[in-house]
Amino acid sequence: KDYDLALLDYTKAIELDGDDPDNWYNRGRLYYFQSNNGKALKDFEKVLEIDSTYVNAINYRGVIFNNEGKYDLAIKEYERGIALAEIDPSGAAYCYRNRAEQYERLREYDKAEADYSSAILLDPENADRYFDRAIFYEEYLKDYDLALLDYTKAIELDEDEPDNWYNRGILYYDQ
């Protein structure tokens, strides 16, 4: 967790090979985790100048816009990433998931549910996608049967993740 040394190394990698989008992406992520959104956005923009289909950079831009309260811009970024689902299904699944959270905030629950389900269709072996939708069913729709199904599927896919078991246990206990 030595961010200063990591920053030096990422910057050196960029100096040596500024045409590699991964170098810019990793430094952008570091800036993001240091809450330096301005520098992170610049690095993610450079990534997209090099490779306009780099979905993870698009997704992070959406997350930054969301954190800054720029919800319309966040949704546009997520839509940009979703449009690249054929190139990067897993990355697009994250964009669907993040856009679903935006729709939750806007209380557009039908759209949120559709996005969580689309994320699962793109990344069906990812337990987190089911876990996310289970939380949505439980907290927003109060549909405990659907939440139970998704927690159970998350456990089937990742039985070593304690949150899957814990949340299903709470659902059993409280409902």
Query: Per-residue pLDDT tens for 6-58?
Result: 999 999 999 999 999 999 999 999 999 999 999 999 999 999 999 999 999 99
Q: Which helix (H) or strand (E) holds 145?
A: helix 144-157
Phi (first) and psi of residue 36, to 5 degrees: -105, 75
The residue assigned the tokens 């856009």 is 99
* pLDDT (0 to 100) of residue 91: 95
Q: pLDDT tens-digit profile of 122-166?
A: 999 999 999 999 999 999 999 999 999 999 999 999 999 999 999
Instruction: Give the residue from 140, 139, 164 showing the smallest Cα distance to 150.
Output: 164
4 Cβ partners below 8 Å, 6+ apart? Answer: none
111 Cβ partners below 8 Å, 6+ apart? Answer: 100, 103
* pLDDT (0 to 100) of residue 1: 84
| CB 157 within 8 Å of CB 125 | yes
Instruction: Give the residue from 103, 20, 31 showing the smallest Cα distance to 60.
Output: 31
Q: Tokens at residue 164, please?
A: 């899957």
C-alpha–C-alpha distance, residues 28 and 44, integer Å: 6
- The pTM is what? 0.91
